[in-house]
Structure 1
Amino acid sequence: MSESVPVLPPKSGGGRRNGLIAGIVVVALVVVGAIAYFATRGSSDEPTADGSTAPTVVKLGTTDVAQPHWEILKDLAAEENIDLEIVGFSEYTQPNPAVTDGDIDLNAFQHILYLADHNNNTGDDLQPIGSTLIVPLPLYSEKHTTVDEFTKGEQVAIPNDATNQARALFVLEGAGLIAFTGDPRSPTPDDIDTAASTVVVRPVEASQTAGLIGDPDIAGVIVNNNFASDAGFDLDGYVYADDPSSAGAQPYINVIAARPEDADNPVYQRIVELYHDPSVTESVVESSGGTAVIVEGYDAAKLQQVLKDTQANLKAAG
């Protein structure tokens, strides 16, 4: 406080009065402090007018806000006096800065590799606090039903963000449609051996890949599961997809992320646990057309170690 508490001159027989005034000042300061504390938290355990406890407010950001499992998760959280607000974002570049800036508390939209790339590039230290799912990254086509039908020089649209792009290139390599000049840990289009490859890649923003499925110049598109679902794709109708249960799949585990100082927050950890309630996970799998695999057995510490290793690998790949 900028002003000091005034000191009253002593009065005869005023000891009890001075004690009373001091007590009032202390109580006032405590009340002011409590008001400031709850005003800045965004949530409170303070009793409401009817004697109940006000819910703890938690804001979680995602790029697939329309998926039905979020409403199920909100209802489960409400039963435990957690007011879970689901905040929608239209692009992958938005939810991480929103957590860092404190606009939201958590996000759930990315895999570990994307988070590692974000931390390396920004200097942030966002941490995974729980696993959600892993899904294959599929190649779709309206022109071809097998990879053998693709011809030399045809274009395939892929996500242009660094980590989804690297995974998309690995998908095309696995499908036999491209080859690399070396053995890159995090490939870019510059690593493609053009002469030894069948297709030419066309990097675009991840949310735009689905819309290019009918483009006459595009023979195939690699589309993240949530965008494919939103666009009404037959999620089982892909030409090729990577294997989400493979040994190298750990960096592609999707996570719930938080600021590092909130990694042990018990309310946030409870939200992670509620995400794994069967009513939520069954909805997740159903919405994915049966393609999503719920990731169990990864606690926060294990996920954070995977993140640390992945960040180191990205830096080494430089």
Structure 2
Amino acid sequence: MPKKFLRAAALALPLALLLSACAGTAPEPGASSAAPESTGPVKIGVVGAGDAYWTTYKEAAAAEGIEIELVDFSEYTQPNPALSAGELDLNQFQHVIYLATYNVNASDDLVPVGATAIYPLGLYSTKYASVGDIPAGETVAVPNDESNEARGLLVLQSAGLVELQDGGSPFSTVADVLDTSKVKVEALDAAFTATSLPDVAAAIINNDFVEDAGLTFADAIATDDPSDPNALPYVNIFAARAEDAENPTYQKLVEIYQNTQEVLDGVQEASGNTAVLVKTPVADLLTSLHEVEDDIRANQ
């Protein structure tokens, strides 16, 4: 895993804090802050509003006096501009690296206001039962989007299939794959890595496309490690405009998500039981965001 990234070993709070279990039930009356008053529905942008846990979440929020309107988007590129433009109050679909990349490219300042989960990224194969079975010289596919290409390459490096220039980073590309690597790597559109399986030895497949490809998450022959401190930038988050970071209604909505067992069960079901549920402190999310933003600017 990269050494330069998260250079604030600060983010080195004990993993028990970063990856605290979210197995609690909804807070007892009086156990948390009172439900703030809401003057209208809170608009939350998501990608995949059809997942059943969103209905459960809306009901849990309504029980606390907060009305939610889910705004569903078909593409990941849409919710951040909509949030920035004031068409949304929050969004929940991305990890810290994705938000940092958007902020830098759009000169924006959206911020995380709460953590949800980390979703391990997997390597799949229809030809080989294990990483060790993949012969030298074979080709492995990775997604070509900015954040998942680097993450996929780091998975391959951890699995012993590639060596990356300078040990790799969250900004590595296939150009950083050293000639000493066991396999060759091809970057493809994320939607096509699964369909490439008949033609390659293995492929990194984004979680959204695993089941559509007729695979299960248990079929992965390698994944990244959510307990690694370097996984912090891959924590999925609720995001808001910077001026709304302390909004008590939004903070309450994060609490409801993190502490309602029925919601958490639904998240796990929708993820094929791969989600690692987290309550990462917002201060650590912000530190990670700013670290990644700085590194992106340094690499431009």
TM-score, length-scaled by structure 1? 0.76
Amino acid at match of 2:275: A
- Select the residue among 244, 247, 250 that pairs with 2:232: 250
Q: 1:139 maps to what in 2?
A: 123
Q: How many residues align?
A: 262
Equivalent residues of 1:55, 1:81 under 8 A apart: no
1:132-164 deviations in Å (ceiling 9; x for gaps):
001211001111111122234433332222111
- Select the residue among 225, 233, 236 that pairs with 2:215: 233
Greater CA radius of gyration, 1 or 2?
1
Deviates more, 1:217-226 or 1:119-128: 217-226
Equivalent residues of 1:65, 1:86 under 8 A apart: yes
- Select the residue among 252, 256, 267 that pairs with 1:284: 267
Q: 1:273 maps to what in 2?
A: 255
Report the aligned-residue RMSD: 2.1
CA distance in 1, matches of 2:46, 2:192: 17
Q: 1:203 maps to what in 2?
A: 187
1:160-183 deviations in Å (ceiling 9; x for gaps):
221111111101111111112333
Shift of 1:111: 1.0
CA distance in 1, matches of 2:202, 2:210: 13
The structure with higher relative contact order (CA 8 Å, sep 6+) is 2
Equivalent residues of 1:129, 1:299 under 8 A apart: no
Shift of 1:102: 2.1
1:16-73 deviations in Å (ceiling 9; x for gaps):
xxxxxxxxxxxxxxxxxxxxxxxxxxxxxxxxxxxxx986212212223222211111
Equivalent residues of 2:128, 2:134 under 8 A apart: yes
CA distance in 2, matches of 1:60, 1:211: 32
Q: 2:51 maps to what in 1?
A: 67
- Select the residue among 285, 291, 295 that pairs with 1:309: 291
Amino acid at match of 2:193: T
Q: 1:98 maps to what in 2?
A: 82
Q: 1:264 maps to what in 2?
A: 246
Deviates more, 1:202-211 or 1:79-88: 202-211
Q: 1:109 maps to what in 2?
A: 93
The alignment partner of 1:210 has SS state of coil
Residues 43-192 of structure 1: matches in 2 within 5 Å? 56-185=40-169, 186-192=171-177
CA distance in 1, matches of 2:213, 2:63: 33
1:206-246 deviations in Å (ceiling 9; x for gaps):
34433444xx3233221222332455531111010011011
CA distance in 1, matches of 2:139, 2:74: 26
CA distance in 2, matches of 1:212, 1:268: 41
Structure 2, gaps ≥5 residues long? 1-36
Equivalent residues of 2:38, 2:249 under 8 A apart: no
CA distance in 2, matches of 1:136, 1:184: 18
Structure 1, gaps ≥5 residues long? 1-52
Equivalent residues of 1:212, 1:218 under 8 A apart: yes
Q: 2:34 maps to what in 1?
A: none
Identity of aligned residues (%): 44
Shift of 1:313: 2.7
